[in-house]
Amino acid sequence: MSTLNFLVRRIIYSVFVLLGLSIVIFVIARIMPGDPARMAVGARAPQWVVDRIREQMHLNEPLPVQYGYWLRDALRGDFGLSLVTQRPVTSDIREFFPASLELVLFSGFLSAVGGIGLGVLSARYKDTWIDNIVRLFSYAGVVTPSYIFAILFVLLLGWALKWFPIIGRLSEEVTAPPVVTGLITLDALLAGQFGTFLDALRHIVLPALSLAMGAIAQEARITRSSMADNLSKDYIASARALGIPERIVMGRFLLKPSLIPTVSILGLDIAATFSVAFLVELIFNWPGLARYGMQSMMHKDLNAISAVILILGAIFVTVNIVVDIIVAWLDPRIRLSAARSA
């Protein structure tokens, strides 16, 4: 009951956040210099064509009415035509989004496992050489942009050692599995094509790892310091004093409270990878949303830009809700106080 309440309230808030974002996007798109109708038909089209398009796009109506039309279409999934690809923006996104999603999911998984794993290791062997190496890596990882890692991995693991392929989502000789979710690894598994799954997995390792490095470093740092802080708490001394074995104290009674800050930051990092993935997608020739969004911006493709930004906003909001649910599950104090104030 309380969890449901909490969830419903969070979703209602999120709707307002997205509405606000849509207004901002709409206004920016309209105040940008240039006539959207002229941009849609090209510089050489005669004026009467532009006028007709203006009529069709409701550009002669007052701004709030225009927003109403725009929102109605957006809710139907219609963001208009892309200027660059000359296809509906929606079908472009349908094509590029799953590739990004797959990349981000893998990198999120690596960030969670790697970051928490290294953080725990570092806290467990605090002030030993293991801890020092992890801390050094953490500082380096936090300040190094992901494309540097991407280039390093391509050169080292891809080109020199030839452990991993460095281009695209699948090898050329491998046929793609039937599209169900658009995530090639998942689709391959669903179709029972294990060889294809392995090939897709080998392709995703390097880009996902490049994207995850910063988050791994960040999560390791936060997990370590949070565990180190909590280690001197009385409830840890008490658990030890009452005879609970060290591995249970560390793995359970210390880990759970220490993961709360990690999960909050991890959520933000994962949501952010969608938008910062551009250079990594470019380096690995990964047909993803970030690359598409960046190309749209280069070409002032307003319809595509609006759609991409709105989708990124929706992703941020969704990830935040998921993070809040996980944190509430980890921390009864938040769960219970949310229930009380509801």
Partner 1 sequence: MTVPPLVEIKNLHVHFSVYGGQLKVLDGVNFVMRSGEKVGLVGETGCGKTTTMKAILRVLPMPPARIPQGEIYFKGRDILKMSEGELAQIRGRGISMIFQDPTAALNPVFSIGEQLEAVIRYSSDQKKPLSPQEVHQRAIASLQEVALADPERLLRSYPIQLSGGMRQRVCIGMALATGPELLIADEPGTSLDVTIQDQILRLLRKLVEEKNTSIILITHTLGIVREMTDRVYVMYAGNMVEVAATKELFASPQHPYTRGLMDAVPRLTGGGVSDGIPGRIPNYLNPPPGCRFHPRCPQAIEICRREKPPTYKLSEAHEVACFLYADNGKGTQSS
Q: Note whether 250 binds partner 1 by CB under 8 A.
A: no
Tokens encoding 251: 């793995």
Q: Which of 231, 310, 321, 326 binds partner 1 (CB under 8 A)?
A: 231
Q: Note whether 246 binds partner 1 by CB under 8 A.
A: yes
Q: How far apart are CA 220 and CA 123, in angstroms?
A: 9
| Min CB(117)–partner 1 separation in Å | 20
Q: Note whether 253 binds partner 1 by CB under 8 A.
A: yes
Window of 14-22, 55-63, 302-310, 329-337 that interacts with partner 1 by CB under 8 A: 329-337
Window of 16-24, 133-141, 237-245, 311-319 that interacts with partner 1 by CB under 8 A: 237-245
Sign of CA dihedral 138, 143, 145, 150: negative
Q: Note whether 36 binds partner 1 by CB under 8 A.
A: no
Burial class of residue 4 in the structure, from the number of CB atoms within 10 Å of its CB (0-12 exposed, 13-18 middle, 19+ buried): exposed
Q: Note whether 72 binds partner 1 by CB under 8 A.
A: no
Give me the helices (H) in 128-193, please. 129-143, 146-153, 184-190
Q: Note whether 172 binds partner 1 by CB under 8 A.
A: no
Q: How far apart are CA 234 and CA 157, in angstroms?
A: 46
Nearer to partner 1, 244 or 276 (CB): 244
Q: Note whether 3 binds partner 1 by CB under 8 A.
A: no
Q: Which of 17, 190, 260, 310 binds partner 1 (CB under 8 A)?
A: 260
Nearer to partner 1, 40 or 236 (CB): 236
Q: How far apart are CA 261 and CA 331, in angstroms?
A: 11
| Min CB(137)–partner 1 separation in Å | 22
Site string for partner 1, 86-125 (x = CB under 8 A): ----------------------------------------
Neighbours of 96 (CB within 10 A): 21
Nearer to partner 1, 52 or 240 (CB): 240
The string of DSSP codes covering 222-241 is HHHHHHHHHHTSHHHHHHHH
Q: Note whether 20 binds partner 1 by CB under 8 A.
A: no
42: left (phi over 0), alpha (psi -120 to 50) or beta: left
| Min CB(126)–partner 1 separation in Å | 8
Q: Note whether 2 binds partner 1 by CB under 8 A.
A: no
Q: Which of 8, 238, 251, 342 binds partner 1 (CB under 8 A)?
A: 238
Rg of the chain on CA atoms, in Å: 24
Q: How far apart are CA 118 and CA 242, in angstroms?
A: 28
Provide CB contacts within 8 A for 327, sequence distance 6+.
Answer: 260, 263, 264, 334
**Contact call for residues 321 and 11 (beta carbons, < 8 A):** yes
Query: For the CA atoms of 267, 268, 274, 279, what is the dihedral angle to 10 degrees?
Result: -120
| Min CB(213)–partner 1 separation in Å | 30
Q: Note whether 71 binds partner 1 by CB under 8 A.
A: no
Nearer to partner 1, 125 or 314 (CB): 125
Q: Note whether 131 binds partner 1 by CB under 8 A.
A: no
Q: Which of 72, 87, 94, 256 binds partner 1 (CB under 8 A)?
A: 256
Tokens encoding 67: 């927003």
Q: How far apart are CA 5 and CA 204, in angstroms?
A: 38
Q: Note whether 243 binds partner 1 by CB under 8 A.
A: yes
**Contact call for residues 6 and 339 (beta carbons, < 8 A):** yes
Q: Note whether 342 binds partner 1 by CB under 8 A.
A: no
Window of 24-32, 74-82, 227-235, 288-296 that interacts with partner 1 by CB under 8 A: 227-235
Beta bridge partners of 88: 81
Residues that bind partner 1 (CB under 8 A): 127, 231-235, 237-246, 248, 252-253, 256-257, 260, 330-333, 336
